[in-house]
Amino acid sequence: MNPSADAAPILALRGLRKRFGAVVVADGIDLAVRAGEALGVLGPNGAGKTTLFGMVTGTVRPDAGTVMFEGRDVTALSPARRCRQGMARSFQVPQPFAGLTVFENLVAAASFGAGEGERATYDRCAAILERCGLMARANERAGGLRLLDRKRLELARALATRPKLLLLDEVAGGLTESECAVLVDLVREVRAGGVTVVWIEHVLHALAAVADRVVVLHGGRLIAEGRADEVVRVPAVAEVYMGIPVDA
Ligand SMILES: Nc1ncnc2c1ncn2[C@@H]1O[C@H](COP(=O)(O)OP(=O)(O)OP(=O)(O)O)[C@@H](O)[C@H]1O
């Protein structure tokens, strides 16, 4: 699915600024994400990618700038309010309720995140578990899952909130090649179902398999934008992201 270039942005960031002490992690970031698009975010460790997700979803307050979601200014809204409006995220380090079962984790996400009564969510949660390959783990405690299943649960919990915009933070990190392929297929399927995806990922081939467009964050700025195969050839990206000097 290729969203048309003139589709209205579902997410628009304007002049986002954030610093932690002397470290500037956002230096006036402007970014528009079209409805239906799959956008990849690259950048070296510490570039501020996760902080950017925090500002989008409301866990990090920007020093300046605005976050527009579906044409509305949500900059002052709580993470919970933004989630109810259709924003969901996964965390780089999976953060399930470790003592609850996989199914209970989904029900919690569906009822709090989407604002639905618990029982009313059961069928939908079961369908998401099936889709994410977790049905066999439904009654296991989330804290005991292996990495691939924890990543799947992270995605499943986000899906349970009925997102229009799904923000994925390094879901492929640490997986084997075949596990990574499973995740990529799942993200592609979610996206094909109409969910807009913004994916932070160091595993470039995973990102390239899903993203229409990739932006590269460095020093609080977006330094490159284009298809995955294009941005890695931009000299500034090669230098800051892969440590290859521009004149090499
Ligand atoms: N709450 C905080 N207080 C102080 N410094 C912070 C805070 N959160 C992040 N930082 C710093 O901001 C910088 C950007 O961190 P962030 O986690 O956003 O980077 P990232 O691009 O997601 O990195 P990685 O690829 O390693 O996950 C880092 O130097 C980090 O140490």
- Domain coordinates in residue numbering, the chain: 6-77+198-248
Does any ligand 1 atom lie closer than 6 A to the CB of residue 90? no
Does any ligand 1 atom lie closer than 6 A to the CB of residue 25? yes
Q: Is the ipTM of this complex over 0.85?
A: yes
The whole-angstrom separation of Cα 159 and Cα 179 is 19
pLDDT tens, residue by residue, 70-114: 999 999 999 999 999 999 999 888 888 999 999 999 999 999 888
Does any ligand 1 atom lie closer than 6 A to the CB of residue 19? no
Tally of CB atoms within 10 A around 229: 10
Tally of CB atoms within 10 A around 9: 17
Q: Whose CA is nearest to atom 26 of ligand 1?
A: 45
Does any ligand 1 atom lie closer than 6 A to the CB of residue 246? no
Q: Whose CA is nearest to atom 6 of ligand 1?
A: 20
The whole-angstrom separation of Cα 188 and Cα 198 is 12
The whole-angstrom separation of Cα 135 and Cα 210 is 25
The whole-angstrom separation of Cα 58 and Cα 37 is 21
Q: Whose CA is nearest to atom 13 of ligand 1?
A: 46
Least confident range of 3-7, 54-58, 129-133 = 3-7
Q: Which CATH number fits domain 6-77+198-248: 3.30.750.24, 3.40.718.10, 3.30.980.10, 3.40.50.300?
A: 3.40.50.300
pLDDT tens, residue by residue, 111-167: 988 888 888 899 999 999 999 999 999 999 999 999 889 999 999 999 999 999 999
Single-letter code of the amino acid located at 197: V
pTM given for the model: 0.91
Residue 1's pLDDT is 45
